Structure 1
Amino acid sequence: MIRITDTIKHLIIINVLIFVASMYVFPGLPESNAIFAFLKDFQENGALYYPESRFFHWYQLVTHMFLHGSPSHLFFNMFALYMFGSALEGHWGRNRFLLFYFFAGLGGAVFQIISWKVGLMGLSPMEQQMFLSTPFRVIGASGAVFGVLAGFGMLFPNVELLLLFPPIPIKAKYFVIIYGMLEIVLGFGGFQTGVAHLAHVGGLVFGILLILYWKKNP
């Protein structure tokens, strides 16, 4: 049984409460209600948009990590945070873990913005304007969670994980390498899956870089 640390528990609770409030409480509130106004604003403006878009606000670099599009999206992110996050917080402590978590999430946002920028370069001026006037957005804690996954693989490389499918054990370091390579292939391969694979890669990369920095500067 995994002993969940306080910070991980609080992150999970906050994400679940925001999801439940946004998906199930918000639709039933009258529009004059202050909570309705807050949740509506958070849903519309909390997601991450392209910086040159009129929908972008700087705080979205953080707030997008607390929005999820579906129960499964929320579940898999929070399950991974539960599985791997407590070991990192136990190793680093609360403050360093939170710095790592949000830094990895920021890495996911940076990579997503870069992918948008590269994509825009291949469009005509009219198509670029259409993109900027359309609310394309990214939500989810996946970038931060992929950073946590990378951190676990680096700090506990020989811990064996049991895969769900196929049900075989695999060392954490190999799991991270395989999963990371898969995300890179999906991100750069032009697969239109509706998933921000490059944001996942960004979380992995920023997580790895921060750990390498800490190892040289303890």
Structure 2
Amino acid sequence: MMDQTVCCYRHPDRETGIRCTRCERPICPDCMVSASVGFQCPECVREAGRTAPQPRTVAGGAIAGDQRLVTKILIGLNLAVFLAVLANKDLVNQLGLFGPCFTFDNGTAQGVVHCGVGADHPGQWYRMITSVFLHQEFAHIGFNMLALWWIGAPLEAVLGRARYLALYLISGLGGSALVLLLAPDTLTLGASGAIFGLFGATAVFVKRLRQDMRPVLMLLGLNLLFTFTWSNISWQGHIGGLVTGVLVAIGMAYAPRERRRQVQWGTCVAVLVAVIAVSAYAVSQISG
């Protein structure tokens, strides 16, 4: 009998006696990748990496390298707008939230509902989201950004980036919608509505994970006490953001695993549609 020479499938000039434990192709020492049993070839290792389930957060989001990136970006945007306001005070009038025309010391500004009449004069709906990033006092932005970091960063790790950002923005819009409905003549600004949405979502996930509810309920209760006892605080924005955040978080936390993405994003769309409906009704009341 004659011996048959076996060479590495990637290096035909190299003899070997080792085969991949998955595909049984011959592999030389340079191509061997250690496995739990024996060695595997590079192709089998890559294929296993593609088919292996990716790690996910509790809510089903992808686990990113920096799990606080979106929170950092949101804080950066708020700080950038705050610096712009320090340089140009009129930005408060241009970006703040109010319903009808508003009279300032330096003139009249248009709100969500236009001062004029007709289709050629649409309202400034952008105020509902720009006001969420707007602050004009150091204490106001300082407290909000600290709260955003303390509450938002851990929640981002639970939700993942996309779900967390959707929760933040929809909560901010929910706060603006209730302000527009109940206090349209008041100039309102700040990230508090969105942050209260994060408070509500945190409570939902603490409950879902069967953790101790007392710390988060005490913190939420304390903030609600400040909301209704301190002056110059928009309780409408806080409550609107809180309710919106709770509704979105319920859909994200309790979505069945087999239909998790559909239920989670469907909840976001449904809550957003409800926010738009409330806003549209508020505008019709102001216009009427």
TM-score scaled by length of structure 2? 0.53
Match of 1:198 among 236, 240, 245: 236
Verify the 8 A CA contact 2:168 2:195 in the aligned structure 1. yes
Q: Structure 1 CA distance, aligned partners of 2:230 and 2:215?
A: 30
The structure with more radius of gyration: 2
Evaluate the alpha carbon distance shift between residue 210 and residue 183 of structure 1 in structure 2; reply closer, same or farther with a 3 A threshold. farther
Contact 2:176 2:193 in 1 (8 A): yes
Mapped contact 1:68–1:139 kept (Cα < 8 A): yes
Question: Structure 1 residues 15, 93: closer, same or farther in 2, change over 3 A?
Answer: same
Name the structure with the higher helix share: 1
Partner residue of 1:8 out of 71, 84, 90: 71
Unaligned runs of 5+ in 1: 28-39, 118-130, 161-169
Describe the shift of the 1:213–1:116 C-alpha distance in structure 2 as closer, same or farther (beyond 3 A): same
Q: Which residue of 1 aligns with 2:96?
A: 47
3-state SS of paired residue (1:211): helix
Matches of 2:131 and 2:94, distance apart in 1: 9
Map of 2:129 onto structure 1: 62
Q: CA separation in 2, counterparts of 1:79 and 1:179?
A: 15
Change (3 A) 1:113 1:63: same
Root mean square deviation of aligned Cα? 2.6
Write out per-residue CA displacement over residues 23-47 of structure 1, whole angstroms, 9 at most, x where no aligned residue.
Answer: 1x337xxxxxxxxxxxx4x432211
Check whether the contact 1:8–1:85 (CA below 8 A) recurs between aligned residues.
Answer: yes
Amino acid at match of 1:98: L
- Determine the C-alpha separation between the residues in 2 that align with 1:181 and 1:74: 18
Q: TM-score scaled to structure 1, two decimals?
A: 0.69
Equivalenced residues, count = 170
**What are the Cα deviations for residues 127-163 of structure 1, in whole angstroms up to 9, with x where unaligned?**
xxxx5xxxx4101000001111111222135468xxx
Higher relative contact order (CA 8 A, sep 6+): 1
Task: Indicate the residue corresponding to 1:120 in structure 2.
Answer: none
Q: Judging changes above 3 Å, is the alpha-carbon distance between structure 1 residues 181 and 192 closer, same or farther for their aligned structure 2 residues?
A: closer
Pair 180,78 (structure 1): closer, same or farther in 2 beyond 3 Å: closer
Pairing of 1:62-211 with structure 2 (within 5 A): 62-116=129-183, 136-157=186-207, 158=211, 171-176=215-220, 178-179=221-222, 182=225, 186=228, 193-211=231-249
**8 Å Cα contact 1:152/1:172 also seen in 2:** yes
Q: Does structure 2 retain, via aligned residues, the 8 Å contact 1:183–1:198?
A: no
Distance 1:98 1:192 in 2: 29
Gaps of 5+ in 2: 1-65, 103-109, 113-123, 256-262, 265-288
